[in-house]
Every structure is written in C-alpha cells, then in structure tokens.
Chains A and B, each alone.
Chain A
Amino acid sequence: MSLVKISGLHKYFGSNHVLKGIDLDVAQGDVIALIGRSGSGKSTLLRTINGLETIDKGELVVDGTALHDGKGDLRALRQKVGMVFQQFNLFPHLTAGQNVMLAPTVVKGISKRDAEDIAREMLLKVGLSDKFNSFPDQLSGGQQQRVAIARALAMQPKVLLCDEITSALDPELVSEVLAVVRQLATEGMTLIMVTHEMRFARDVGNKLIFMHHGLIHESGDPKAVFANPQTPELANFVGAVQMA
C-alpha cells in the first residue's frame, strides 16, 4: 500500500512540457532522493505533490486524498504533506516558536497552549529548544532551516518534501540540517527530497530517482545506482557531480 501514488502525471508551463508522464509509488517510511540536472523537472515534480504547482493531467494520491487532473481538495492534501524550501521562507515578523505554532492554531484550530507545547517539542527535535523566542533574522541560515523543518513537522504530515534545503546554506551549516533530516529518516518519516548532496542521497536514501527531460530516467537503490548507472545520461551526471 503506497503512501504517495503518482500516475501519468503531466505538467506544462505554457507550451513547455515539463513533466511528461511521471509514475511514482512511495511507501510509508521511504526516503527518496530526486536528482537530475537543472530543468529536468525534479523541483516541479516535488511541488506538484502538495499542490504548489497544478497538475494538468494524471493522478496524485497521498494517503487517500486524491487529485484527478489537478482537481481535488488541495487543503486536505496539504495537511498531509509538509514542505521545506530552499530559502527557508520563515515568517519574518514571528518568532521561531510563533512560526511553528501558526499553522496548528490557524489551520487545525488547536489551542494556543497546546500549539506551544507542540512547537517546543518540535524545536527540541531540531535542536533549537533555546530559540523559541528568537526572530528569524537573529538565527543563522542553518538554524532558520531547522525552524522551517519544525514548522512543517508541527502539522504532523504523512510525508515531508524537501526542496534543495541545503542549497542556500553556507557549507559549514549544511551538516546540522542534514543531521536533522537523517534523524527524521531513522524515525521512519517518509521523505522526498530534491538534493544536490549526492553522498547524503546515497547514505540516507533508500531510493534514488534520476530525472531527465521531464521523465524518471533511472531509479533504484541509491548505492547500486551510483555504483553502476545503467544509462549514459546518469553516468554523465554522476561523473559531473560526484567529485564536487
């Protein structure tokens, strides 16, 4: 029984056919790394999974909530799908704690007191229990990104989408964010991440998906795929990024 099931998904930006029929099954607890060149459609695919991009054709089902050809209950879908962005996107006028509390109180109608408990628990989980009252501009990039992860987790999503979440960070801050993601993975969180951290994808992921020209070009166990790419495109890509 798959948690996320995508079938025959097509997406156009105007006349540009970005996703050309994606089929993907994600099981509970899967940690999926989406890799590929810029423009291959990996971020677009990720963003369709919580409705940030509309779907022109095809079906998306997340834990029983379905979109047929892009139509369905988007808000129900989004309550099941958390998302962490490259640019953190914290709300600058709210403290770290308030950032985490906002959606549970506003969307789920949880009381302020209970939401605060959730927020403290989530901030503790990402190692920032002492930053509850800090504003985003008082935090480092790595800390902001961990707050963003806590904010997504506070909605208790079934699956967490990570869109190049370390790409905007200074190199020395990458590991603290990856450590949090690794922890989530070992706790059984279902993760789909677009990443350029190939070593991380190999070590933490249980499935690697290589996208090329809007299609899943090659996929499988990350270690096997990296060690033995079956297509010249992936071999080329792995060769280009491996050393970096």
Chain B
Amino acid sequence: MQNLDWAVIQTVVWTLIKIMAIVVPLMLGVAYLTYAERKIIGWMQVRIGPNRVGFQGLLQPIADGLKLLMKEIIIPSGANKGLFILGPILVLAPALAAWAVIPFTDTLVLSNINAGLLYVMAITSMGVYGVIIAGWASNSKYAFLGAMRSAAQIVSYEIAMGFALVGVLMASQSLNIIDIVQGQAGGVHQWYIWPLFPLFVVYLVAGVAETNRAPFDVAEGESEIVAGFHVEYSGMAFAVFFLAEYANMILVAALTTLMFLGGWLSPVTFLPDGIVWWLLKTGFVLFLFLWFRATFPRYRYDQIMRLGWKVFIPITIVWIVVVGGMMQTPYGYLFH
C-alpha cells in the first residue's frame, strides 16, 4: 500500500512539474507579447515605443508587472465581494486550462486525448463567465454594459468559430489535435489553409473578436464605456484580466497554427519538423493580431453583430456543404 500511494504522489508531482513547464513560458510569452505589441505598433505609427527600462526597453514588462503587483486592489463599496474576486480568476483559468491538450510537437503534449478539439472549445467557452461576473459584481453601469457587450460578442462569434472547426474535423476526420496536424503532413501545399481558406479567414477574424481585440474591442471602447467590464479593477486583479487576454491571444494563434498552418510541420520536405516551426507560425499569427490593431478602426456594435451572424455563419455553413460534397467526388483527395 505504501508503494502504491507513492506511485500516485509521483504521478501528481510529475504532472504538476509538466504544467509549470507550460505555464511559466506561457506567462513569459504573455509579458513579452505586451512588449512586442507596444514596440511593433510604435514602429507602425513611426514612434519608438518603450525604450527606457533596460536595453531597448526589454525590462519594461517586468517593471509593469511589479508596478501592478504593488498597487492596492480596490473593491467598490457596493460590489459583491466574492464574485468580484472570482471574476478575474474565472477569466484566466480557462485560458490556461485549454493548454492541457495543445501539442507543441507530436510527442510534446501534456495530455493527448481523443476529443482534444472538443475539449478546447468547451473550456474556452467558459471564459465568458469571468467577464459577465466581473461586470455584474462591480456594481457599476459602465462595467455592466461592457460585460453585456462582451458576452454577446463572445457567444455570437463562438458559433462561427465552432463551424469553422467542423470543417477542419471533416478534412482531418479526427478530433485529436495531433492527428489533425499529422493529416497536413507533406509540405506547405498540404496544409488545411488551402482547401479550407474561407474557414481559415473566418476562424482568424472570429478569434480576434473572441479575444475582444481591436477592431472588435467595443467591450472596452474607451470613448464610450471607459474600459468596459474591468473598469473597477485595479492592481493585480486588473493584471489578471490583462494576462488572460494575452494568453487567449496566444491560444487562438496556436490553434490557428495547428488547425490550418500545419503546426510543427515544416513547410518544405527537406527541412526537419520541429517546435521551431510551431513557434514561428504562432508568432506570425500573433503579429497579424498586432497588425490588425494598428490598422483598422473599431467596428460599430451593430456591424459586429451583423458580421458574426449574417456573414460568417452562412459562409462557414456553405463551405462545410462544399467540403462535404467535394469529398464524394474524385477530387475529394484535395480536401483531406
């Protein structure tokens, strides 16, 4: 019995170590994504960006984190205390939990489960609760309006995102993310981005909307509702929202890479596959996120809803029918 208990403890500790090995680089990635965002948008707008703390401003994210850590967390007097604290936690938790099934290479994955893609969809759909709870518990009109906007937007775009992934499932005939990537083996022309191009575009844009990023950031439209659902948060509680937003961005970028851009597979057959491709492709998709923010003006709210319901959902449904029909023809191999 003593030995058996030891085995259980060993598994638990080993799993915790693996979780830390994912979460720590992820948090570092989040920190330096904020730095990259400020630098890249700075260059795009012919500014310099942060350059004071450390060499070329490289220590800026650390300084920001420290500053937020030192600040007081103010809880508004009319707030629902328990839920006010729970809100940011519920935003960050799904953003981290989804990484449990994200593979980095064909062997480097925390949990290789059969229904991996379904798991990701289910877990990321939980994130909206944190936003709603935070907005409601703040007991503030601005926060509540921001939460309503954000929740409606997230729920709407989740449908289009789900349908886009259905196309990927049809092409790969698997829910296992590693199998989906393996289905794209054989060079850049085998990636699902080509046969599923409309779904790729829908997924990417819906991903931007899902993370409440510009040009879909009406949830925190500064000029209308100050900062939306997290207007009453300060210090580390605010920082957690911030971390969650960027962790979600990295997650959407990683999923786009895995579903449509061949994950860790090399674009040409004479170069070896590896995690470096995963990082490069995810980095490129993240760059697109920043590029969008520097380029497009914010959508109006009714335009966002129209785009989600009346444009994206019909496109995805039509393309699923096209893929399903084409698979029955002799040209079906093009869609696998």
A and B found bound together: no
Question: What residues make up the interface of A, taking CB atoms closer than 8 Å to B?
Answer: none
